[in-house]
Amino acid sequence: MKLKVKVVWLIVLSLVLNIALMFALLYVGNSVFFPGYNHVNLQKMSEELAGRLQQADLHDASQLAREMAAFSALHEGVGIDLFANDGSLLHSSAERTEPYTFAEMMERLANPFHRMFYGESLSMVYELDAGGEKLYAVFHVEGSAIQQMQFFLVYNNESAILFFVPLFLIIALPALLAFVFIMWMTRRLDRLNQAMQRIDLAGEPVFLADKNRDEISELTNHYNEMIAKLHDQYRHIRRVERARTELISRLSHDLRTPLTIIQGYAETLQRGSALDTDTRIRHASIILQKTDYMNDLLHKLFGLASLDDPSPAFQKREGHLDSLLQTIMADYVLILNDKGIQWEMDLPSSPVAATFNPEGLTQVIRNLLDNAIMHGGDGNYLGIRLRLEGDAVRIDIEDRGKGIPAYKLAHIFDPFYRVNEGRPSDGLGVGLTLAEAVVRQHGGRIEVASTPRERTVFSVIFPTGAKVAGENKSVTGNGH
């Protein structure tokens, strides 16, 4: 059963219950909590008295007295006077024998509703039909015996419309407004439900606009956030899948070539017993070189696989960053001089103490230096700077080569992404991914800024507990 049908049934049931409860409170509750005589009771008493007098001989005073006494015994607290059609007094429960004067009778019957409203004693006159003879009964009720709350409904054929239409509106209008409101709410929910049924991750995301500030609006906003995340994750998964497929192709090529070379030189060494020593050494060096290349590929693949595995312990210890950078840079001095690249290292004059993982940070710095030499070596400059920025440390690695196009900056940290996609020698495209993961484990980040043909700077920033002030010391070198 749909929600709209349930709402209709709920409103109909509530209307029926409201009407039943209203009548129960008006009639049942009124008689229980406010006992006493009212105009309805007195009207029924007159009809009951008329029924008793139908069989009585009105000219027999003793019989009439017995009937009236029996009737009065059933209705204690109500005085009864019975008059003939000519106004003569036939019976009085107060045992009055003299007829009432006009003034006395008018005084008794005057202002009945006023007296009833203020709880004063009142008299009501009713016409009786007793065996074809018209009689009049006057009921006198003390103020304490009058019902304290009474309801009057007097209408004719025309006034009934004026009464029942407002009454119907009073009862039905709130239900109608509730129905319209709930229909509006369910229509918003239906729109949200239809949008969720039309979700297609392969297509464009469908967003909903809901300017209302209620729970459904919040649910719509959560839906928009969810659909955006789903599409982003789907696109990311698709990129990763494409990158993995490309990785397999690249890996097959990158492994096949060195394996072929290794196999060729190994077979040559196996057959060529007459080769001189220099040739054998050269062939063995090539084999070792290609073996190191393959080992580096496998090491990067292992590092990439370990990114999503939280089991390996990442341990940090205190050390000096300036000493670490000097040790790393010492391995690159000869390479930079051979390539004719001018290099500069700018370090603080005082030791920079920090807590870090030496192996992981070394891998990050070496990866950034290798990229600067490979992709920015044509600028003939490489700089490395160490700075303290409050509670954080900043390591800048700068080159002045061809740079990175602006539209590629947002993707350089994606797995398997390569800036120069047409050059297989650029590697697997996981180096920066690994570097960023390591820096994140230090609670930091990697920033990059590049102006092609001017300068490209990779900045490694992570928090450190030590603050060391001092002037900077610079070490420069020139391969020329």
* Residues 344-373 pLDDT 10s: 999 998 999 999 999 889 989 998 998 899
Range with the poorest average pLDDT among 57-71, 125-139, 157-171, 431-445: 157-171
In this structure, which amino acid lies at residue 77?
G
Domain with CATH 3.30.565.10 in the chain: 318-477
Task: Find out whether 389 and 454 touch, Cβ atoms under 8 Å.
Answer: no
- Checking if the pLDDT of 246 tops 80, the result is no
The span from the CA of 134 to the CA of 125, in Å, is 13
Alpha helices (H) in 272-357, listed in sequence order? 277-305, 321-330, 333-338
Strand positions, DSSP E, 73-132 = 78-83, 89-92, 122-130
The span from the CA of 374 to the CA of 379, in Å, is 11
Reference 344, options 369, 378, 323, 362; nearest CA is: 369
- Of the chain, the percentage scoring pLDDT greater than 90 comes to 21
Other Cβ atoms within 10 Å of 338 Cβ, number: 9
Tell how many helices (H) and how many strands (E) occur in the chain: 13, 12
Residue 460's pLDDT is what? 96
Higher pLDDT, 278 or 257: 278
Q: How confident is the model at residue 467 (pLDDT cuts 50, 70, 90)?
A: very low
Q: How confident is the model at residue 471 (pLDDT cuts 50, 70, 90)?
A: very low
What phi-psi label fits residue 131: left (phi over 0), alpha (psi between -120 and 50 degrees) or beta?
left
Beta-strand relationship, 342-348 and 381-389 = parallel
The span from the CA of 225 to the CA of 247, in Å, is 32
Task: Find out whether 325 and 362 touch, Cβ atoms under 8 Å.
Answer: no
The span from the CA of 433 to the CA of 416, in Å, is 8
Domain with CATH 3.30.450 in the chain: 35-148
Range with the poorest average pLDDT among 4-8, 221-225, 396-400: 4-8
Residue 476's pLDDT is what? 55
- Checking if the pLDDT of 274 tops 60, the result is no
- Checking if the pLDDT of 420 tops 50, the result is yes
Please state, rounded to an integer, the average pLDDT across all residues of the chain.
81
Higher pLDDT, 72 or 153: 72
The span from the CA of 256 to the CA of 226, in Å, is 44
Task: Find out whether 348 and 467 touch, Cβ atoms under 8 Å.
Answer: no
The span from the CA of 459 to the CA of 365, in Å, is 10
Domain 318-477, second-level architecture:
2-Layer Sandwich (3.30)
Q: How confident is the model at residue 161 (pLDDT cuts 50, 70, 90)?
A: low
Residue 163's pLDDT is what? 61
Domain 35-148 has CATH 3.30.450: yes
Both tokens assigned to 159: 């006034």
Give how far Cα 54 sits from Cα of 80, 82, 86, 436, Å: 17, 14, 19, 111
214-219 contact pairs (CB < 8 A, 24+): 216/185, 216/188, 216/189, 216/192, 219/192
The span from the CA of 412 to the CA of 375, in Å, is 13
The span from the CA of 337 to the CA of 333, in Å, is 6
Residue with tokens 């349930």: 6
Write the DSSP assignment of 354-388 as a string of letters.
EEE-HHHHHHHHHHHHHHHHHHHGGGTEEEEEEEE
Backbone phi and psi for residue 221, each to the nearest 5 degrees, phi listed first: -65, -40
Both tokens assigned to 58: 């009105």
The span from the CA of 321 to the CA of 300, in Å, is 24
- Mean predicted confidence (pLDDT) in 278-299: 81
Range with the poorest average pLDDT among 40-44, 301-305, 460-464: 301-305
Question: Which residues sit opposite 342 in a β-bridge?
Answer: 381
Which CATH code is given to the segment(s) 215-308?
1.10.287.130
Q: How confident is the model at residue 216 (pLDDT cuts 50, 70, 90)?
A: confident
Other Cβ atoms within 10 Å of 190 Cβ, number: 13
Best-predicted range by mean pLDDT (111-125, 273-287, 301-315): 111-125
- Mean predicted confidence (pLDDT) in 271-277: 69
Beta-strand relationship, 353-356 and 122-130 = unpaired
Domain with CATH 1.10.287.130 in the chain: 215-308
Tell me the torsion sign for CA atoms 402, 408, 410, 413.
negative
- Checking if the pLDDT of 247 tops 70, the result is no
- Of the chain, the percentage scoring pLDDT greater than 70 comes to 81
Residue 397's pLDDT is what? 95
- Checking if the pLDDT of 95 tops 80, the result is yes
Residue 469's pLDDT is what? 38
Residue 478's pLDDT is what? 55
In this structure, which amino acid lies at residue 391?
D
Q: Residues, the chain, total?
A: 480
Both tokens assigned to 340: 């004719």
Give how far Cα 16 sits from Cα of 1, 29, 123, 175, Å: 21, 18, 39, 11
The span from the CA of 239 to the CA of 411, in Å, is 11
Best-predicted range by mean pLDDT (210-224, 238-252, 312-326, 370-384): 370-384
Residue 427's pLDDT is what? 58
Angle (CA) 157-161-166 rounded to 5° is 150
